Structures are given as structure tokens and as C-alpha cells.
A = this chain, B = another copy of it.
Amino acid sequence: MIRRFPGMKWCFCVFLLAASCGVHGQAQGHEGHRWWNASLRQKQVKLEADLLRASSSEKIREDHDLFCDEPHVAGTPGDHRIIKELASSFEEMGLEPELQELHLYLPLPVEAHLSIVRGPGESGPHPGDPPVELVLQEAAVKGDPYSRHPDLTFGWNAYSGNGDVTAEVVYANRGTKEDFSRLASLGISVKGRIVIARYGGNYRGYKAKFAEEAGAAGLIIYTDPKGSGYRAGLTYPEGGYANDTYIQRGSIKTLPYQGDPLTPFEPSTENAKRLDPDSTGLPTIPVQPIGYRAAGEIISRMRGKLAPRDWHGALPFTYHLTGGPELRVRLKVVQERKIRRTANVLATMRGSKYPDQKVIIGCHFDAWTFGAGDPNAGTIVLYEAARLLMAARKQGHVFERSIVFANWAAEEQGIIGSTEYCEANRDDLVANALCYLNLDMAAMGTNFGSSSSPLLKSVIADTTGVVPQAGKLGVMVQEPWLRGQSTPRFGNLGGGSDHVGFYCHLGIPSASMGAGGSAGVSYHSNYENLAWYRKIVGDDYEPAVMVSRLVAVAGSRLSNATLLPFDPTQVPRDLSTHLSALQNRADGVGLAWPEKEAGVFSDAIVALQEASQKFLESGLQALQLDQLDAESTALMNDALMKLPRAFCLDEGLPERPWYRSFFASSDPDSGYSAWMLPALRYQVEKGNRAGLARELLRHGAMVSRLSESLTRVQAATAQKMSKN
């Protein structure tokens, strides 16, 4: 399934180690090395010390220059050019790039127009006056040459329907499910009207979905200054926040599966069998993103019912729900959807002992404009981590399992490249992929954070104990991350980036790793360029150095650990947390909690706690005593690899069969947040107590089977060791 672009040639050049940028710290993480047997532990300690010694912010900066040179939306010439750059960069460090060619159903913008046709009363134009044309592209900014790049376009929402409508307007707050319900309960119809909604609260695709379902003629989405503009901080170029012409581009595809809209479950090869585009449920109404200057022109002219207090943004007037018949807006959107060519760019550092087993580290490369933040603040980390690991190998260090570095195509249009990769390599990945680490926008500040599936929390937390914190001498990443707590806080991994195919479709343990906290927003705009990044995130690339080291060390641990560094006791801990949250949610929506069935599930979780504890302790103890032979190690590692697959069922989730993980999924009503134990959550949201009770029993059985298998393996290895 992995093809090469014709006309590219691959060479295997030896990566020359760039000048080290100094040693900030020494690996201290004994805790992190408990997964090694005594003979290999010292080698790993030495490897990590070498990894931490070699890091070059200059090289990272060069990569950033290279990857952010021009706008490169998926399917455009800029996209094709960056694919070559990415492949060449792998080659430079001695990796052989592989391209997975993709033939994707992608839109590109053709035309957009927005104007106020008639304004109300004395404060707006009179009938017969010329319309007020609204500007749909960011203003060029002094001191930012990128903002004048000729390939930049007006703002657009990918997969908008085409249309040219003139209608009254309705303000729908953030356009969430609740917001549309509230409008309805206030007796306000959006039917045949153009909805205007602000960004935030959900994935923009759901704003479009709910607007279309409610009968709207079109949708305008704008960035309110409350969350992202002058109310958050100084605006660009004085500061980093959204100025009044900033526009957040983005896809509005919402389908019950990720990836190419025409090839669910299957890879988008040139001759793949495709769905009829009209049957997929892609948006049909015109949808247009705008900045707050343009939005203010419309909203300030509205004269109907006042918006509820909590619906007000930070524009300098009182917000209304309706514009009234005097205020008519014309919205025209033309996009061309067709099959366009792009490719994933991957490279593998082959494992010396278990070449089939692979740790996958990835980040998409496509961008709405230059992508200096999204995604390239992650791409530079991916390349620097690869460089660190390749340099270590060059120094003679050994990596037992393979590490795959992956650049994903067309994430922005709906997590497409990575999904197609998962669909193309399903069996191999299910059998051999240890985990997936996602780096999208990984270096946007100095505050480290991670969302993770339970098995990866331990290795990530341990790694932060040995990598120096950016900008703080003598402090490890873990210290500020802990913020005074005894254990670091992880987010729940849900939707929103390239882990979804791995985690939610295939059940492969996944995590996002990255650092944020810089004061600004250029997300998906024409300002997401190097001038913005270097002014707002910084010019020293310390965040990228920090996260690259974390990724390299964590990657090496996953590659080399004798016993896979997956702490199985985290699974029942997380299950227990999620079950409690679910019960709270049921209380919140007034659903009587099925105590008995929940008790069955809860008992199974307690049993798993015991089984996993015993499994872990016996494994670690044997390692400590150097009593774990190769066969037992393989048996235990196999059990750890299979553990997360216990929560995957081929039938998939109700109404969303592509989502196979019963542990986690994206939230089907907002897109960005996570549903944990999603089959249970589904029944709670439906208010179906019988369905919930049935699912609780099934989950109990699922967990019990897992306990049994862990116990079986533990017993077998214990028996074997006692014989030795």
C-alpha cells in the first residue's frame, strides 16, 4: 500500500551529528528503567544520556524555515512541494522515506462573497444604497512579509456546500446542540435564514451540521474577540491574539467515520471503490468563516430580540438573536470538490531485534496556510526526535523495536492521511504497533501536557522526570507539569487529530505530547507563519528542543524495554474514573443508575486491579532478579500488546461502526472532546436505562476476560520461573 511518487529518488545518506547544544541534565529516572533487565538497563541509561546531549535548535529552526516556506493546503502545488522536502529531510538524516500515495476527495476554494444588502433604519444603508461588502481575507501586516504571500487566499471552510443566498440573519451563539435547542425554545426559527455563530464550544463542523439540520440557508462562523482577540490579549501584530481580520479556516466534515469521505474502512488508492459523494452527508449549505471586524458589521446592525446574557461576546454592542427583515445578508460560496493527489511521508528506523514491532510517532504536514503552528510546531519536533535517535544509532546504540516516523497528509480536511494509513495497514498495525505518539503543534510554548490512553501514561510521566524543562535551569519537565500534585494530570484523548485512526479505529494505545502556553492565536489563519511564531512562541526553539528530547527518550524506551513499559494497573484506575464520571453524567441527565449492573462492571474493575497488579509485580520482580527468560518475556509482552485490544469490538459503536474502541472515542456532538466508555455514554445520552444496563454487563464481561488472560499469563510465567 505504500507507494512512491514517481520521479523521486531515494538515497541513504549518513546523518552527520550537528553540534550539540549543551547538556542540561543527566538521566536520573530509575523508576523509568524498572522495565529493563539488569544487563540492558545500563545501556539504556547511557543511550538516554547521549540522546539528551545532542540537540540543535539551529537545525530545528532550519527545518521550520523549510516546512513553512509557503502555503500548502492538501492537494495544491505547495502540498506536492512540501512532500518532497519532507522526504529529502528524512534522507538527509539517513532514513529511507516511503510515500503512501493518496487519492482523496478534497475541496479547494474558488470564490466567496459576503455583503450586507440592506441595513435597518437610520443606522444602516437605505434601500437602494449599494451593499456593504465585507472583507474575507486577513489584512497584510507591517513587519510580517508572510502576510503578503501571493498564494494566500480568502478564508474558507473545507467541504462547505456551494450556494448564493440572500436572507435575514439569526445569531446562534456558538452553534452547539444546546444553542440551537435554546433558539428553538425561544421561538426563533433559523429556517431559510443565514445563521451567524462564533467559534468555540464545539468542532466547527457541528455548527454547520446543526444549522443545516435546522433548515438554515447558510452559516457564517466568526472569531469573537472574547476568547481569542483583544479580550484575551494584545492582537497581532502588537501581540499574538486574533486581530479583527483574523479568520479561522477549517474543515466542516462531520461523518460517522474519519478519513476520506468516499472510502470509509478502506484506503483511498487510485482505483479504490468510492461512495457517491451525494450519499455521504457532506454539508450542502454555504458556510463561510470571517473575522470579527466583518462579523461586527453584521451583528451591530441586528435589531431583534436580545441575546441571553451568556451569549454575548466581546464586540462593543449588545448582541441580538435576530436581525429582522430590514437586515439582509448575501452569502456566496463556491468550492470545487474532486479527487486530488497527495501522500503520507514515512520513514522507519528498523528494530534490531523485533523489526516488525513498531512505535509510531507522527504529525501531519498539511496546513491551511504556512502551518508554522499547526502542524509544523510538531513536524519540527518529529524531525528533531528522529535526528536524535538516528544520531544515537550512528554512535552505536541499538534499538530493538522499529520506530516509524510519519508525516500525515490532509489532516486538516478531516484526519484523512493517517486514517487511510490505518485502513491500508490494519492487520499489521493491530498485530505489531505498540503505540502511536502524536505531535501535532507540539512546540507552542513551554508548558508540557499530554492526553493519553492509560497504558502510555507511565512511560510519558517517567520520561518527563529525566528531560530538562525549557527555560528553567536544573528543573525537569515533570516538576512544573505536576503543579504541586503527586501524579501528573493527563487529558482524556478523544478526537481532533491523527491519533483517531490508531486509537479509536484500531485500539492502539495512543498519546499526544506537546507543550503550549504562549500568548496568542494564529490558528488556521494567514498569520500562522514564521513571523508570528517567532514573535509569540519565541525565536529560541527551546520548547521544540524540550519536546524532541521527551519524544526521543520515550521512543527509545518503548523501542528497547525488556518488558513493555505499559503499566497495566493504570487501566482499571482509568476505568474506575470513567465509570464515576459516567454515573455523574447519568445523574445530571436524570437517568436512574442501574446499580446492579454497574456493580458487576465495578467488581470486574476491582478484579482487574488485582490481576494487573499481580501481573506487573511478578514481571518487575523477575526482571529485578534477572529471572525472566526470553519466552516468559515474550509471553508477557504479548499480553501487554493485546491488552488494549480487549476493548475493541469489530461491530463498532452504535451508529458509528468505524469507531471500534469501547474505551474512548470522540464526542459525536462536539467533535473535539472525548467520550470515555463511549458505548455506555451513548446509552446515557439516549436516556436508555435498559441499554445502559445491558452494556454495563457486557463491559463487565469484557474486563473479566481481560483479568483472566492476565492471570493466566502471570501464572504460566510464574510456573515457568519457579521451574528455572
- From residue A651, how far is it (CB to closest CB) to chain B in Å? 48
The answer to the question of A41 belonging to the interface, with a C-beta cut-off of 8 Å to chain B, is no
Given the contacts A239-B318, A318-B239, A231 and B306 also touching, CB distance less than 8 Å: no
Nearest B residue to A232, CB-CB = B318
Which residue of chain B is the closest to A317 with respect to CB atoms?
B230
Determine whether the beta carbon of B230 is less than 8 Å from that of A316: yes
Chain A binding surface SS class: loop
Query: With the chains together, A314 CA to B239 CA distance in Å?
Result: 19
Complex contact B316–A235 (CB within 8 A): no
Within 227-245 of A, Cβ neighbours of B (below 8 Å) are at: 230-231, 233-235, 239, 241
Q: Considering the chains assembled together, what is the distance between the CA atoms of A233 and B312 in angstroms?
A: 10
Cα–Cα, bound, A549→B681 (Å): 57
A234 neighbours in B (Cβ, 8 Å): 306, 318
Which residues of B are found within 8 Å of A314, using beta-carbon distances?
314, 316
Q: Does A225 contact B (CB under 8 A)?
A: yes
Contacts of A312 in B (CB 8 A): 231
Interface centre among A230, A233, A318 (most CB of B within 10 A): A318
Measured between alpha carbons, how far is A546 from B315 in the docked complex, in Å?
39
In the complex, A306→B238 CA distance in Å? 12
The listed residue (B235, B239, B241, B306) touching A233 by CB distance below 8 A is B306
Taking a contact as CB atoms under 8 Å apart, the answer to whether A316 and B316 are in contact is yes
CB <8 Å contact, B315 and A235: no
**Shortest distance between the CB of A506 and any CB in chain B (Å):** 42
**Chain B residue with the shortest CB-CB distance to A303:** B238
For the complex, what is the distance from the CA of A26 to the CA of B233, rounded to whole Å? 59
Question: Shortest distance in angstroms between A225's beta carbon and chain B's nearest beta carbon?
Answer: 7
Report B-chain residues with C-beta under 8 Å of the C-beta of A225.
316
Which B residues touch A241, using CB under 8 A? Answer: 318
Within 8 A of B (CB), among A487-517: none
CB-CB < 8 A to A316: which residues of B?
Answer: 225, 230, 314-316
Contact of A230 among B230, B231, B239, B318 (CB under 8 A): B318
Q: Is the CB of A233 within 8 A of B315?
A: no
A317 to B231, CA, bound (A): 7
Minimum CB–CB distance for A226 against chain B, Å: 10
A294-344 CB contacts (< 8 Å) to partner B = 306, 312, 314-318
Roughly how many angstroms separate A326 CA and B367 CA in the complex, as a whole number?
41
> Which residues of B sit under 8 angstroms from A231, Cβ to Cβ?
312, 318
**A124 smallest CB distance to B (angstroms):** 13
Nearest opposing residue in chain B for A142, CB measure:
B122
Closest to A244 in B: B316
Complex Cα distance, B456 from A639, in Å, reads 77
Write the nearest CB–CB distance from A234 to chain B, whole angstroms. 5
- 17 A/B residue pairs, CB under 8 Å, sorted by A: A225-B316, A230-B316, A230-B317, A230-B318, A231-B312, A231-B318, A233-B306, A233-B318, A234-B306, A234-B318, A235-B318, A239-B318, A241-B318, A314-B314, A314-B316, A315-B316, A316-B316
Where the two chains meet, the residues of A that have a C-beta atom closer than 8 Å to any C-beta of B are 225, 230-231, 233-235, 239, 241, 306, 312, 314-318
Q: Give me 13 other A-B pairs in contact (C-beta within 8 A), A230-B317, A234-B306 excluded.
A: A225-B316, A230-B316, A230-B318, A231-B312, A231-B318, A233-B306, A233-B318, A235-B318, A241-B318, A314-B314, A314-B316, A315-B316, A316-B316
